[in-house]
């Protein structure tokens, strides 16, 4: 085997290697920034999406599916939106042997596909206050012609698993309530993934094109750069005005709806792989692991059948208990199998040899802490379930500590620069609130302003903006980002 790069030393190469070796994606597809999902990776992603579907169901969002192609004419209706995206859309200009009358774009996001259907103009979905709030979502492929360096799961030209929820509301305040619900949904999901994150309100110059304001959720990756893994946008009535989405109020008058969106993608999987990983490969939370327990028989010459029959008995019991279990009967050495399943991040490994079969014991190894214990056969299911909880708690706690130790609050640009040289992560700096000073800091620090802490912006007392020296009104977060 080729020596894999270490998570702890060269995260970027580790990530690229693990994604391919663990069977997440195949990166050899002959279009830049587009990858093939392999069965194991797809299974993990589907398990993540299962929780998304459950949360959507719980909160009354309905699933829909829109076409991936949008006519140029619809795409160009909201001025800021088109300005923000036109540099990165793929254009369909011909079909068969014809040149198209109206060019089509491949959706980079679906506002301009969906909102014409909301509008009364097309006899659409939203007519009266009784239709509101209107909440839909879809998980689809979207396309962005990234000119930056592409990176699997993180910066791609085809986002295969793009989640987008779109909602419409009677007024600004009801849309605000939706943003709060989105944050709650996101938090529930992050608990399932055992991932700690921060939410920031983006500065004006970095809002989603067309948004009134934008929130972003970030994690700190092993190399100290941040990764945006979720966004929530309040559109106010910006799109409603462009697409004429009006409703009839109870008093018979009409008003524009206020809208929000909530977005996530396979970056969730990137965060799981990166944050929980170690030098041996992935460490999957049991909640989303396609295989939660793998059984590796360690047979001894002449005692094979005893071991295999004991292994099958254990497999059957775990399966009956609803645990996703796999018995590895490949014709390979146990050490090779350990290495393989550790790489693939299976949370719990069970080893069974002849002595275990005789003594009715089971050796259990947990992937996160790389510890082994021996238990008696009778306590199997309870112990395994308990171990799942322990692993979730351990991963969540480790992730929380990692995040907290990578947020540093400073007063000056010098301290900020030092922080970026040192541990990196997120650096918080007092800020007067002006775009000029914000951009100046971005430039000086070679970092991006993530925005201000949300929902509590924490106005700092007695602090000065390090650029202009005026009184600071905000704490601004900066990071080197993916």
Residues that bind its own copies (CB under 8 A): 26, 28-31, 34-39, 42-43, 62-71, 73-74, 86-98, 104, 106, 113, 116-117, 122-125, 136, 141, 143, 145, 147, 158, 160
In DSSP notation, 232-251 reads EEEEETHHHHHHT-EEE-TT
Q: Which residues contact 396 (CB under 8 A, 6 or more apart)?
A: 191, 194, 195, 196
In the complex, what is the shortest distance from the CB of residue 113 to its own copies, in angstroms, rounded to a whole number? 8
Which CB atom, from 98 or from 371, has the smaller least distance to its own copies? Answer: 98
In the complex, what is the shortest distance from the CB of residue 399 to its own copies, in angstroms, rounded to a whole number? 28
Q: Please tell me the distance from the alpha carbon of residue 33 to that of residue 251, in angstroms, as a whole number.
A: 52
Q: Which helix (H) or strand (E) holds 54?
A: helix 39-58
Which CB atom, from 113 or from 445, has the smaller least distance to its own copies? Answer: 113
In the complex, what is the shortest distance from the CB of residue 63 to its own copies, in angstroms, rounded to a whole number? 6
Which CB atom, from 106 or from 165, has the smaller least distance to its own copies? Answer: 106
Structure tokens at 459: 């106005």
Contact between 380 and 315 (Cβ < 8 Å): no
Contact between 283 and 395 (Cβ < 8 Å): yes
Contact between 157 and 144 (Cβ < 8 Å): yes
Residue whose C-alpha is closest to residue 347's, from 285, 272, 279, 278 = 285
Q: Please tell me the distance from the alpha carbon of residue 9 to that of residue 223, in angstroms, as a whole number.
A: 9
For 146, phi then psi, to 5°, come to -65, 130
In the complex, what is the shortest distance from the CB of residue 462 to its own copies, in angstroms, rounded to a whole number? 47
Which CB atom, from 74 or from 351, has the smaller least distance to its own copies? Answer: 74
Which CB atom, from 136 or from 350, has the smaller least distance to its own copies? Answer: 136
Structure tokens at 67: 């076409």
Contact between 203 and 438 (Cβ < 8 Å): yes
Which CB atom, from 38 or from 439, has the smaller least distance to its own copies? Answer: 38
Q: Please tell me the distance from the alpha carbon of residue 182 to that of residue 172, in angstroms, as a whole number.
A: 15
Task: Using the structure block, give the residue that is written with the tokens 């969906």.
Answer: 114
Q: What angle do CA 342, 226, 179 make, to 5 degrees?
A: 105
Which CB atom, from 21 or from 415, has the smaller least distance to its own copies? Answer: 21
Which CB atom, from 94 or from 180, has the smaller least distance to its own copies? Answer: 94
In DSSP notation, 122-143 reads GT-S--BGGG-SEEEEEEEEEE
Which CB atom, from 2 or from 371, has the smaller least distance to its own copies? Answer: 2
In the complex, what is the shortest distance from the CB of residue 183 to its own copies, in angstroms, rounded to a whole number? 24
In the complex, what is the shortest distance from the CB of residue 67 to its own copies, in angstroms, rounded to a whole number? 4
In the complex, what is the shortest distance from the CB of residue 95 to its own copies, in angstroms, rounded to a whole number? 4
Q: Which residues contact 306 (CB under 8 A, 6 or more apart)?
A: 354, 357, 358
In the complex, what is the shortest distance from the CB of residue 31 to its own copies, in angstroms, rounded to a whole number? 6
Which CB atom, from 243 or from 310, has the smaller least distance to its own copies? Answer: 243
Q: Please tell me the distance from the alpha carbon of residue 227 to that of residue 230, in angstroms, as a whole number.
A: 9
In the complex, what is the shortest distance from the CB of residue 147 to its own copies, in angstroms, rounded to a whole number? 7
In the complex, what is the shortest distance from the CB of residue 391 to its own copies, in angstroms, rounded to a whole number? 26
Which CB atom, from 49 or from 351, has the smaller least distance to its own copies? Answer: 49
Burial 266-294 (b: 16+ CB within 10 A, else e): bbbbbbbbbbbbbebbbbbbbbbbbbbbb
Residue whose C-alpha is closest to residue 400's, from 227, 200, 193, 228 = 193
In the complex, what is the shortest distance from the CB of residue 187 to its own copies, in angstroms, rounded to a whole number? 25
């Amino acid at each position: 085997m080729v020596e894999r790069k270490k998570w702890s030393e060269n995260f970027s190469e580790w990530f690229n290697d693990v994604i391919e070796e663990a069977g997440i994606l195949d990166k050899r597809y002959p279009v830049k920034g587009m990858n093939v999902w392999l069965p194991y990776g797809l299974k993990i992603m589907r398990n993540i999406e299962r929780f998304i579907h459950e949360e959507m169901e719980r909160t009354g969002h309905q699933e829909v599916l829109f076409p991936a192609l949008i006519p140029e004419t619809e795409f160009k209706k909201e001025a800021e939106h088109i300005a923000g995206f036109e540099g990165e859309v793929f254009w369909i200009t011909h079909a068969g042997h014809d040149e198209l009358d109206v060019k089509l774009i491949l959706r980079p996001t679906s506002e301009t596909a969906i909102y014409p259907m909301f509008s009364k103009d097309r006899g659409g979905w939203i007519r009266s206050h009784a239709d509101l709030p209107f909440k839909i979502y879809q998980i689809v492929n979207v396309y962005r012609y990234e000119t930056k360096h592409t990176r699997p799961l993180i910066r791609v030209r085809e986002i295969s698993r793009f989640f987008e929820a779109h909602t419409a509301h009677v007024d600004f305040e009801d849309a605000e309530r939706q943003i709060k619900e989105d944050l709650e949904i996101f938090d529930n999901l992050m608990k399932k993934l055992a991932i700690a994150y921060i939410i920031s309100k983006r500065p004006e110059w970095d809002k989603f094109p067309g948004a009134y304001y934008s929130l972003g959720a970030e994690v700190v990756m092993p190399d100290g750069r941040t990764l945006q893994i979720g966004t929530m946008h309040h559109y106010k009535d910006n799109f409603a005005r462009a697409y004429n989405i009006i409703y009839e109020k109870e008093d018979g008058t009409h008003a524009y709806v206020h809208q929000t969106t909530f977005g996530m993608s396979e970056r969730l999987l990137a965060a799981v792989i990166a944050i929980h990983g170690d030098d041996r490969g992935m460490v999957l939370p049991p909640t989303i692991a396609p295989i939660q327990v793998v059984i590796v028989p360690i047979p001894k010459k002449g005692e094979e059948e005893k071991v295999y029959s004991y292994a099958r008995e254990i497999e059957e019991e775990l399966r009956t208990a609803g645990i996703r279990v796999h018995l590895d009967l490949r014709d390979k050495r146990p050490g090779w199998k350990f290495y393989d399943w550790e790489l693939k991040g299976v949370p719990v490994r069970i080893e069974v040899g002849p002595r275990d079969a005789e003594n009715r014991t089971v050796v259990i190894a947990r992937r996160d802490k790389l510890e082994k214990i021996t238990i008696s056969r009778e306590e199997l299911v309870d112990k395994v379930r308990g171990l799942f909880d322990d692993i979730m708690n351990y991963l969540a706690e480790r992730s929380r500590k990692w995040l907290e130790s990578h947020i540093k609050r400073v007063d000056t640009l010098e301290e900020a620069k030092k922080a970026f040289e040192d541990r990196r992560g997120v650096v918080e700096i007092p800020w007067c609130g002006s775009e000029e000073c914000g951009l100046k800091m971005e430039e000086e620090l070679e970092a991006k302003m993530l925005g201000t802490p949300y929902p509590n912006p924490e106005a700092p007392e007695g602090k000065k903006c390090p650029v202009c020296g005026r009184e600071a009104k905000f704490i601004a977060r900066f990071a080197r980002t993916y």
